[in-house]
Structure 1
């Protein structure tokens, strides 16, 4: 069995090409850390997974374009694999460094604790701005909206922002 991270990227790519046939370049934009940290992926991994999905019969090339670009779509077997993954139990293990650091903030001095919370708050708020900006840019465009994922990400970053804001305010300063 593959590690959970590899399986997640594999199914994320399969999900995207099931929603809308896409080139590797289009997939790279979906996984760009500049748009969101939900699931960034390096270029070599995206192309490796695409080749693997094709070799396994879960994806097929439906068009070839300029400079060797290929558009991939999910096959019926790929859609069945995606459906099985969606129905399977989720891995709820939270591996997020800010949460781990929060476990040990009591091991540092109050100023460092507040500084850490300020940095986290700035990051979480920036992620909310990125999500909002991306939603505005995609509004009215053809293609998948992924509103459920967007709503979950907004709720997550809003909650994390609330935690960080409380630490900062507890220290007597506004961010």
Structure 2
């Protein structure tokens, strides 16, 4: 995000809330903590200071190089932890009706998530800039993943009827 333009911790939190929360969550203490670590490492710098101690951070050349390295040479972690899916392993401890209810609730949750993403998509003023393009790509991934999860949960609930 700082690779696009300088921003304060508050600006970054707002960006997380409006666009990144569907793919990566971060608390205020995490954002400010990471900004401090990045600054200490020389990957970002304080570009401006405003009233009430507001600091605007900008990426440095070493920071841009590290970001590029992370994007092109570091394999993404494929480790996924899903407490929803973990619970599926233990559905045999419930009655068939309780297990089906759990799965149908998961399907509805996924449908609501997809609807929220569609709402966000409609409310955003998309541009032709790279951030908009890549934001749309990530948003589409979220919509498709939510649809797949909903479809799977409904299918799984049907399997328990058999």
TM-score category (smaller protein)? 0.7 to 0.9
Q: Which residue of the other structure, out of 138, 142, 156, is the alignment partner of 1:167?
A: 156
Segments of 5+ residues of structure 2 without an aligned counterpart are: none
| Cα deviation digits, residues 142-173 of structure 1 (max 9, x gap) | 9722122112212211111111122345567x
**Aligned twin of 1:28:** 13
Rg (Cα) greater in structure: 2
Counterpart check, 1:151 vs 2:137: no
Match of 2:79, SS? coil
Deviates more, 1:99-108 or 1:140-149: 140-149
**Aligned twin of 1:54:** 39
The TM-score normalised by the length of structure 2 is 0.83
Deviates more, 1:139-148 or 1:47-56: 139-148
Deviation at 1:140, TM superposition (A): 3.5
Distance 1:122 1:20 in 2: 38
Distance 2:48 2:111 in 1: 40
**Aligned twin of 2:64:** 79
Match of 2:47, SS? strand
Q: Structure 1 stretches (4+) deviating beyond 3 angstroms?
A: 32-37, 140-143, 167-172
Segments of 5+ residues of structure 1 without an aligned counterpart are: 1-15
Match of 1:71, SS? strand
Contact 1:36–1:131 (Cα < 8 Å) also in 2: no
Distance 2:22 2:46 in 1: 28
CA RMSD, aligned part only? 2.5
Deviates more, 1:21-30 or 1:62-71: 62-71
